[in-house]
Amino acid sequence: MNMNRYLDIAPEVAQALKDNKPVVALESTIISHGMPYPQNVETALKVNQIIRDNGAVPATVAIIGGRLKAGLSDAEIEYLGKAGSKVSKVSRRDLPVVVAKGMDGATTVATTMIVAHMAGIRVFATGGIGGVHRGAETTMDISADLEELGQTPVMVVCAGAKSILDLGLTLEYLETKGVPVIGYGTKELPAFYTRKSGFGVDYELDTPAEVAAAFHAQRGMGLKTGMLVTNPIPEEFSMDPAVINKAIDEAVAEAKAKGIHGKDTTPFLLAKIKDITGGDSLDSNIQLVFNNARLAAQTAGELCRLG
């Protein structure tokens, strides 16, 4: 068990890890910055239930009062959900100051991976990862999520990357970092709101057992990278690519006109896309998170069977 002095592991999570029971880490940015209250709290609690229903223990990661938390109580989830965007969005670079000052923080994909790895949690479910932003060849706007995947051995189950990003360059970057990109039952990278992107993944694997075996081998060889498992949004919740791509193009153009950049970009674009699509994008977002939680819990279970 990790004894990091900045980290609090919830008792249920600590017990599951000690007993080699499956645990799934969850990020908290989706609670504070990803959805409005009370939908954010309802969604987070439902995700916890889905993970339990699939035989694993949920461990939402956040920073509360300067303490790194692996596993939140329902009351702590409610607190983060109500505080919303008043809570700092914390990536790797923010951790030292947020912890030292005793602040609250909602963790991004990168920071959730760091805390999960500290706690000994191997599998993490999220909505979508960050990536290389459009125009990055001039702005250098590349998400820290990709860098983390290159150096932290945690499996990230997601619905691909949002097509607000440059998906081709995102895949190139992951290849450079040596991160395997797995398509769950697909040869094509899912694009978050839609099942297809036109870009291929490295490998297609079709069962949680196959995914777990690949990650078990990766860890057994001492390879220090993460693994990205991309799980397409269920067909019935997938959005029309033409509708979503038009909304994304409009949102990207507005962000550029308003000079929005850095960590403000993604929340601005998602809120704009939600407005343009009349809320359909938020409904899709919730369903794909549920779908990823299921797969992550099942894969974590298979991983425990392998030791």
80-114: per-residue pLDDT in tens? 999 998 999 999 999 999 999 999 999 999 999 99
CB neighbours (10 Å) of residue 99? 17
pLDDT at 31: 93
Strands (E), the chain: 7-9, 23-26, 57-64, 67-70, 88-90, 105-107, 123-125, 155-158, 181-184, 203-205, 227-230
Q: Is 283 helix (H, G, I), strand (E, B) or coil?
A: helix
pTM, two decimal places: 0.93
Confidence at 36, pLDDT banded by 50, 70, 90: confident
Confidence at 231, pLDDT banded by 50, 70, 90: very high
* φ, ψ at 30 (rounded to 5°): -65, -30
pLDDT at 135 over 60: yes
Least confident of 36-45, 89-98, 124-133, 243-252: 243-252
Among all residues, which ones are annotated catalytic?
Answer: 27, 162
Residue 251 and residue 277 in contact, taking contact as beta carbons nearer than 8 Å: no
Taking the C-alpha atoms of residue 112 and residue 122, their distance in angstroms, rounded to an integer, is 11
pLDDT at 99: 97
Tell me the mean pLDDT in the region 274-279. Answer: 79
Tell me the mean pLDDT in the region 235-253. Answer: 86
Tell me the mean pLDDT in the region 138-145. Answer: 87
CATH 3.40.1790.10 domain extents, the chain: 1-121, 126-307
Taking the C-alpha atoms of residue 45 and residue 74, their distance in angstroms, rounded to an integer, is 7
pLDDT at 152 over 60: yes
The CATH number for 1-121, chosen from 1.10.10.10, 3.40.1790.10, 2.40.128.20, 3.50.7.10, is 3.40.1790.10
pLDDT at 3 over 70: no
Name every residue whose Cβ is closer than 8 Å to that of residue 163 and which is 6 or more positions away in sequence. 191, 192, 193, 194, 197, 244, 245, 248
* φ, ψ at 166 (rounded to 5°): -90, 100
Residue 281 and residue 193 in contact, taking contact as beta carbons nearer than 8 Å: yes
Confidence at 2, pLDDT banded by 50, 70, 90: low
Tokens 């995102």, residue located: 170
Write out pLDDT tens, residues 174-209: 999 999 999 999 999 999 989 999 999 999 999 999
pLDDT at 253 over 90: no
The DSSP code sequence of 218-276 is: HHHTT----EEEE-PPPGGGPPPHHHHHHHHHHHHHHHHHTT--GGGHHHHHHHHHHHH
The CATH class that applies to domain 126-307 reads alpha beta
pLDDT at 265: 76
Q: What is the DSSP letter of 56?
A: -
